[in-house]
A and B are shown apart, each in its own frame.
Chain A
Amino acid sequence: MTRPDQLKPREDSVPGTPYDGFEVGAALPELRFSITPAIVEEYFASVEADRSLYMLDGRQAAAPNVLFPYMTVPLYRKYPPIQGIVMAEVEFHWHNPIWADETTDMVATGKVIEKFEKRGRRYIRWQADWKRADGTLVATMVNTFHVPS
């Protein structure tokens, strides 16, 4: 499967996970998926990106942030989302490009690293590593979001 909507449990499709259901430290199941040239192009269009900026040594690369739509997939497959989640922040480090002219087989792993309350709101912080199937590190990520009560 390739598209995020094929990989990600959608809100209301299965019972969602309340704040208390997230377990700090537990590894998320490994996620395998493929980023196709079609996904790369659809993503360029969806964020109004200028694809000409992403030429790398004469070859068309994807915007590194093509991973954004996949961002929550490793987490949501273990902890399906409830309605009303609001994203708070994200940090991505990019290490290697994803090419636009080939299908890239990817593996994502991660874990919940923190749960906390701030100003009466409850937050989940989790991290993920994004690698090619051959083990090459593509990106690392930390994401924090607010889970409504």
Chain B
Amino acid sequence: MQMKREIAIDQAKIDLYGKINGDNDIIHYDHDYCLKRGFRGTLVHGPHLSAFACDLAIKKYGKDWFYRGRLHTKWVGPVCPGDTLVVELNDDGSIVESVGGDVTVIGRAELETR
């Protein structure tokens, strides 16, 4: 069964992640700089986006996720304040995150075979 969640993105959430992340990269905090770089606004940190898929993975795989979970995420599009991010984990382990139908993250969450 496909698993899905939606997350409303705002600058406060980016700032909260930035606090624990400890970065000072203006690509996450300076709106005008991001416009000059060609983005719609400041960018959510890539690993922050990946984390949204992890709650779905632990639901799917349970205890095994701690011992042989494998997460691969590729950040292919920006996610900015004002966006509603849709996070999906499909039956085959594929991850798709999107904003307004535009794909922003692709990847896989699966268990390593040992």
Centre residue among A57, A85, A91 by max chain B CB count within 10 A: A91
| Chain A residue contacts of B37, Cβ below 8 A | 84
| Chain B residue contacts of A3, Cβ below 8 A | 20, 22
Please encode chain A, from 2 to 13, with 1 for each CB lying within 8 Å of some chain B CB and 0 for all others. 011111101111
Please encode chain A, from 116 to 138, with 1 for each CB lying within 8 Å of some chain B CB and 0 for all others. 00000000000000000000000
Interface positions, chain A 1-43, Cβ under 8 Å from B, are: 3-8, 10-13, 39, 42-43
CA distance A41 to B23 in the complex (A): 19
Please encode chain B, from 70 to 114, with 1 for each CB lying within 8 Å of some chain A CB and 0 for all others. 111111000000000000000000000000000000010000100
Across the interface, do B20 and A90 meet the contact criterion of CB distance under 8 Å? Answer: no
Q: How far is the CB of A58 from chain B (nearest CB, A)?
A: 11
Complex A-B, nearest 3 residue pairs according to Cβ-Cβ distance, in ascending order: A5-B22, A87-B46, A68-B47
Across the interface, do A46 and B55 meet the contact criterion of CB distance under 8 Å? Answer: no
Across the interface, do A43 and B75 meet the contact criterion of CB distance under 8 Å? Answer: no
| Chain A residues with a Cβ under 8 A of chain B | 3-8, 10-13, 39, 42-43, 45-50, 53-54, 56-57, 61, 63-65, 68-69, 71-72, 81, 83-97
CA distance A26 to B43 in the complex (A): 31
| Chain B residue contacts of A72, Cβ below 8 A | 23
Total interface residues on B, CB under 8 Å, equals 40
Interface positions, chain B 29-66, Cβ under 8 Å from A, are: 37, 43, 45-48, 50-52, 54-55, 58-59, 63, 65-66
- Asked whether A10 and B63 contact (CB < 8 A) given A68-B47, A87-B46, A93-B112, the answer is no
Taking CB as reference atom, which chain A residue is nearest B15? A46
- Asked whether A42 and B20 contact (CB < 8 A) given A49-B54, A89-B74, A96-B67, the answer is yes
Across the interface, do A8 and B45 meet the contact criterion of CB distance under 8 Å? Answer: no
Q: Point out the residue from A8, A12, A47, A88 that lies within 8 Å of B52, measured CB to CB.
A: A47
Q: A53-B58, A54-B58 are in contact. List 6 more A-B contacts (CB 8 A).
A: A8-B22, A13-B24, A69-B22, A81-B23, A84-B27, A94-B70
